[in-house]
Structure formats: C-alpha cells, structure tokens
C-alpha cells in the first residue's frame, strides 16, 4: 500500500510503499499521537521511516493493492 505523509513546514510529502494495512497504519499513528512520540513505518525493502507525530499534517492512505504494469508471467 502506498502511504503519503504530509509534514508541516516541509514542502514535499514523504511517499512510502508498505506491506501494512490501512488499519495498522492508522492505529500506529493514533498510538504515536497519544504518546507524543514518533510515527514509524517500515517500507517493503525494510527501511524505517520515523516522523515526529506532532509534525504530521496529513496522512494519505492509498489503495491496499498496487496494480502491476507490464507483462507478468502467465
């Protein structure tokens, strides 16, 4: 799933491809806001992205499954 994070005072959004579901991402953000900590996501390659939860302006949750482009194995 593609997740776009808008961070206050940063002109570009952060785009992450993650295997987490929309409910898992929303729950993680909620927990980070409650503890006034960091919002953490792990992308499909294993990289961790940490954002201070109070600096998040918006979170855009994309569709749960990405469409493949090109020819796949039949």
CA nearest to 60, candidates 14, 2, 4 = 4
User: Is residue 28 within 8 Å of residue 35, measured between CB atoms?
Assistant: no
Q: Give the integer Cα–Cα distance in Å for 42 and 23.
A: 15
Give domain status of residue 57, yes or no: yes
Give domain status of residue 66, yes or no: no
Q: Give the integer Cα–Cα distance in Å for 4 and 64.
A: 13
Give domain status of residue 18, yes or no: yes
Confidence (pTM): 0.78
Q: Give the integer Cα–Cα distance in Å for 37 and 30.
A: 10
Give domain status of residue 71, yes or no: no
**Number of folded domains in the chain?**
1
The DSSP output letter for 45 is: T
Give domain status of residue 13, yes or no: yes
pLDDT in tens, 2-37: 999 999 999 999 999 999 999 999 999 999 999 989
Give domain status of residue 24, yes or no: yes
pLDDT in tens, 45-69: 999 999 999 999 999 998 776 566 6
Is a pLDDT exceeding 70 seen at residue 74?
no
> Which domain does 41 fall in, by range?
2-61
Give domain status of residue 8, yes or no: yes
């Amino acid at each position: 799933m593609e997740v776009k994070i808008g961070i206050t005072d940063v002109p570009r959004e952060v785009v992450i491809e993650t295997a987490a579901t929309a409910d898992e991402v929303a729950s993680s953000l909620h927990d980070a806001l409650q503890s006034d900590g960091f919002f953490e996501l792990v992308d499909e390659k294993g990289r961790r992205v940490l954002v201070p939860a109070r600096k998040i302006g918006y979170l855009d949750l994309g569709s749960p499954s990405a469409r493949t482009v090109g020819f796949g194995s039949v």
